Amino acid sequence: MAEVSQISEFGKILIFLITGIIMVCVAFSINKLLAPHNPNPEKLTSYECGEETTGNAWLPFNSRFYVIALVFLLFDVEMVFIFPWATVFGSHEINNYEPRWGWLALTEMFIFLGILILGLVYVWVKGDLDWIKPKPIVPTTDTFIPKSLYEKLNAEQSVYKVRAFALTPVPSVPLETVLTKGTAGTNETPGTSGTGGTSGTPGTQPIRKPMFKPTFKKPGNEQ
């Protein structure tokens, strides 16, 4: 009598995956054939629960979200390994065959959990789980540049004032006005305030001659 072959557990999983892929492909094919294809600006916009989208979709995203997600993903994936360990640890056949197997598996799991707890403590101590940080932590590095040079540079740069940010546009100043103000103090003579140096016409400025006159040297073969 011929033996009846049965599908293994992995074969059932393979059939389930193949069936799911076929169903998805069939659903997309039917949608492609039956649904009308009439794109317009309204259909091509992102759906936001019926609200009209405003602004750009590329928004700044706080990097601390990625830190929390990576920590969660790390611990979530590592905790998955506990389920197969519990299945093997609770096997009566293995424990009856080798009594010391239970203690070995238990010791390995304690070491595994200890590594996870050590990583959690490290992240906690470093402050990566704190969403609101009271002050920035400036990392220290070994450098041969003395700190006094940095302080001197900061002192020199502190004389420049930073213009305050404002939503109202700042009126633009014509270039002629800037040049007039810049040359008014240097071209004035005693008794002719507001006049352009030696010029007698009030409110006018003389044309400044270039302070540098380029000269070109002829090559040696051209005399």
Rg (CA), the chain: 39
pLDDT value, residue 180:
67
* CA torsion, ordered 183, 184, 186, 192, to nearest 10 deg: 150
pLDDT at 191: 44
Give the pLDDT of residue 2: 53
pLDDT tens per residue, range 31-64: 988 888 888 877 777 776 777 777 777 778 777 8
Q: 155-166 pLDDT, tens per residue?
A: 888 777 777 776
CA distances from 14 to 6, 137, 173 (A): 14, 52, 74
Predicted local confidence at residue 200, as pLDDT: 47
pTM of the model: 0.37
Mean pLDDT by 10 residues, the chain (223 residues): 66 92 95 84 74 75 83 84 81 78 84 88 85 74 80 83 69 65 52 45 58 64 52
Spell out the domain ranges in the chain.
9-44, 64-126
